[in-house]
Amino acid sequence: MSGPATVRVVLADDQPLVRTALQMVITDAPDIEVVGEAGDGAEAVRLAEAERPDVVVMDIRMPGLDGIEATRRITEAGTARVVMLTTFDDDDYVYGALRAGASGFLVKDLALDDILAAVRVVAAGDALIAPSVTRRLIAEFAARPAAGPGTAPRGGRGPAGITDREREVLTLVSRGLSNPEIAAELVISVATVKTYVTRLLAKLHARDRVHLVILAYETGLAGPA
């Protein structure tokens, strides 16, 4: 029987070989176990409801119900956190997945160990976006003709009600930097960075780090590095 610290995972991908590869790696990880596999989005939603896993590793393109809509249903129901895993890193898919509530977005060319690390990060309540995806998001938002309703103009100072230091931290979060990297950039401790991130989550009513990234883009704080 698995101990209480074991991360329970559902794998959702229409390619059996991908699921098999992940299953093999996870079998060797003592702290993660696969509790179900799905070949399409509808089955992923059903498994998430039945098994209540910690994390669903979700392919973005699947027959029938796609990964974005499946992610939306799972996150709205609160049945699991979702890591999107795909060969596609097209801007529209990335943004759609994050808006649907995904807590991570990874491309399949990452090493399998990196994918396992991402599962652990998301299961612990944090969020993760591959740096290549972050760069694409920045470029996509920079190319938009205007910010969305109720947001600051592009190139503005970002969300209202945050301090200058919080704004600096949010800008670095939006560029995909980890807490230790932000600490090094701003010459502060990692604990202090965590405090700023916690304050930002509360002030901006953000569900997680990914949501902070979206807010930074939408309010014009994030731009081409």
Residue 19 contacts residue 36 (beta carbons within 8 Å) = no
* pLDDT over 50 at 149, yes or no: no
102 shares its domain with 13: yes
Total count of domains within the chain? 2
> Domain span at residue 197?
146-218
110 shares its domain with 152: no
- CATH number of the domain that 211 lies in? 1.10.10.10
122 shares its domain with 23: yes
* Any domain includes 41: yes
The predicted-structure confidence for 36-54, as pLDDT tens digits, reads as follows 999 999 999 999 999 999 9
Nearest-10 crossing angle of helices 190-203, 209-218:
70
71 shares its domain with 154: no
> Is the alpha carbon torsion for 105, 110, 114, 115 positive or negative?
positive
> Is the alpha carbon torsion for 135, 140, 145, 146 positive or negative?
negative
* Any domain includes 153: yes
- CATH number of the domain that 81 lies in? 3.40.50.2300
* Any domain includes 90: yes
Q: What is the pLDDT of residue 142?
A: 55
Q: What is the mean pLDDT of residues 80-108?
A: 78
26 shares its domain with 95: yes
